[in-house]
Amino acid sequence: MGPMTPSELRSRLEGVIAFPVTNFKSDYSLDIDAYRTNVAEMVKFPLCAVVAAGGTGELYSVTPEEHLQLVEATVAEAGGKTAVLAGVGFGGGLSVELARKAQEAGADGILMFPPYYPNADFEGLARYYKAIGEAVDLGLFLYSRDTVNLSPSQVFRLASEIPNLIALKEGQGDIRNYQRVMERCGDKLHWIGGIGDDMVPGYYSIGVRTYTSSIATIAPRLSLQLHERASMLDYPSLGRLMRNYVLPLYAMRARRKGYEVSIMKKAMEILGKPAGPVRPPLPDVRPEEVKELESLMARYEPVL
């Protein structure tokens, strides 16, 4: 079975998109066996997609060779049950190479991170995204994050000019702008809540029904519960899940730049899942915070 067409992939995009961590050994070399173990556990759950080398997967710390290994391993473990997306970024040359190799390895879609150049002129950005789109036949996901905060007219233009662009992953947490983008573009794209599990109530209140989850690395069941409760507009139940599990974890993640990944890897380790260290320049979790995280993970038992 080959990769999905862009339209087939888009039709499957409802629910939770998971972002597995990239496992490293103590010497920071890639631990592909540990990675495969984690992905195999993830895809036992009805996720709509899994992203190889996403933000939680430390895209910007892996080599092209490691990137390919991660995509191949994800495709193998997903076994067609779950769509596989590959994160690409850096610049126009490397992003195109990574996307082509990911397509050859069997990925179903490409998540396009912003390029290395911050605050790029929109004309340059447009060429960056178009080059990736021209390099592959796969469905593309536009990722608005960091210094790339696209206006409604800019998203509309990209959706009109890149035939295989099928979705926008909003990573700013800017509900006001996202509503305007959705209103301007209508059904041109599929809309994804992309900044974190803590924004599920906000995203789903404006009609989003797909979100990207870091919590799926430790508790896929909880990620799916968040989607289900939010989809039903069951705010009392959703609120309890947020207060008991999501908000305390995201408060820890917000303490230091890079903790978005470091905290998740340490939580996995506490729960007995293979994780390994983060690669520099991401920071390690402070010893005094490990005990705090251990207490929080003990509270997670009912949703594991």
Kindly state whether residue 275 falls inside one of the protein's structural domains: no
Catalytic-role residue among 35, 143, 250, 259 = 143
Kindly state whether residue 249 falls inside one of the protein's structural domains: no
CATH assignment of the domain containing 173: 3.20.20.70
Kindly state whether residue 253 falls inside one of the protein's structural domains: no
The residue ranges of the chain whose pLDDT is under 70 are 1
Q: What does the alpha-carbon distance between residue 263 and residue 129 come to, in Å, rounded to a whole number?
A: 31
Q: Answer yes or no: 245 catalytic.
A: no
Catalytic-role residue among 35, 101, 169, 211 = 169
Residue-number span of the structural domain to which 24 is assigned = 6-233
What was the pLDDT predicted at 233? 95
For residue 259, what is the DSSP state? H
What was the pLDDT predicted at 1? 62
**Omega into 281 within 30° of 0, i.e. cis?**
yes
Q: Answer yes or no: 81 catalytic.
A: no
Q: How far is CA 127 from CA 132, 149, 151, 154, in A?
A: 9, 16, 17, 13
Q: Specify the number of domains making up the chain.
A: 1
Kindly state whether residue 34 falls inside one of the protein's structural domains: yes
pTM here?
A: 0.97
Q: What does the alpha-carbon distance between residue 287 and residue 261 come to, in Å, rounded to a whole number?
A: 16
Say whether 52 sits in a helix, a strand or coil.
strand
Closest among 186, 193, 137, 138 to 160, alpha carbons compared? 186
Kindly state whether residue 238 falls inside one of the protein's structural domains: no
Kindly state whether residue 196 falls inside one of the protein's structural domains: yes
Kindly state whether residue 264 falls inside one of the protein's structural domains: no
What was the pLDDT predicted at 168? 98
What was the pLDDT predicted at 3? 82
